[in-house]
Amino acid sequence: MTLGTTTQAYGDPSYWDNRYAQEPGTFDWYQKYPALAPLLHLYIPTHHRILVVGCGNSAFSEGMVDDGYVDVVNIDISSVAIEAMRKKCSNLPQLKYIKMDVRDMSAFQTGSFEAVVDKGTLDSLLCGSNSRLNATKMLEEVGRVLKDKGVYILITYGAPIYRLRLLRDALSCTIKLHVIEKLLSEESSGHKKWDLTSAIPLDDNGNSVEAALGKNPDVHYIYVCIKARPEAWSRGLKISSFSLVCLDSLCST
C-alpha cells in the first residue's frame, strides 16, 4: 500500500474507506505478525481476550490465530475494511471484526480485554487534525476497556523523547520498552542487532535508551504498558484509570 496523500484526513472514515476500496490488498503497518510474535507471547497468553485497534486489512490477527490465540476482536473506523475482513475471515471464529471508532468504544464494557494491541493507530491520529484531542480520547478509551493488570502494547515510530515522559506523567502503570529493527522481516536470516524480547533500560529522561541504542536508531519502538490495579494507586486518590492527557504530534520526527 502506498502511504498516501495527506495525513490530515487520518481521522476521517471516508478517507480510509476510499483508501481500502482503491487498495484492497493486505497491508501491515510497520511489522508483520511473525516478527512481533515472540514479544506478544512474552506478555499475552494465548487464552486472553485481545483487542486490536485500527486493524485495517492487516493479516496480523490471522497470524495470531494461526499461532494459537483464540479470542481476537478487531476494530476499525472503515466499514470497507471491516466488511472485507469479515468475508475473508468468515471461517475463523476466533476473529471478530467490528466497525468502531477507537475514540469511542462505548460498545465495550469497562475491563473487557486483557490486552490491547496498537500498531500504528495512535501514530495515525497524532498525524491528523486535532491530534492531541483525538489521541487523548483514544487512550482514555484504551485504558477503560483494559482489565486491571492488562497490557497495552504500542508499536510506534515515536522515540522515548516524544513518548516516555508523557506516558510516565499520565499513567499509573509499569512501562517497559522494546525495539525491533524497521526492515526486519520473517524471511530475514541475518543476525538481529537487538533482542526483541529484552527490555531496553529506561531512566526518567530516556537518556539510557540513547546510550543503549545510539542516536537515531532505525527501529520501531514498542511500549508495553501494564495497567496498575486501582488499590495500587496513590493513597485515597480517585483517578480515572490509565488516562493519557497530552500528546505531541510526532509527524515531524
Residue-wise pLDDT tens digits, 190-199: 556 889 999 9
User: Does position 2 have pLDDT exceeding 50, yes or no?
Assistant: no
Residue 228 has pLDDT above 50, yes or no: yes
Per-residue pLDDT of 73-113, as tens digits, reads 999 999 999 999 999 999 999 999 999 999 999 999 999 99
**All structural domains of the chain with their residue ranges:** 7-232
Distance CA(78)–CA(179), nearest Å, equals 29
Q: What does the pLDDT average to over 162-167?
A: 72
pLDDT band at 245 (very low <50, low <70, confident <90, very high): very low
What is the Cα–Cα distance from 233 to 46, expressed in whole angstroms?
A: 29
Check if the beta carbon of residue 100 is closer than 8 Å to that of residue 83.
Answer: no
Summary mean pLDDT of the chain: 83
Q: Which fold has domain 7-232?
A: Rossmann fold (3.40.50)
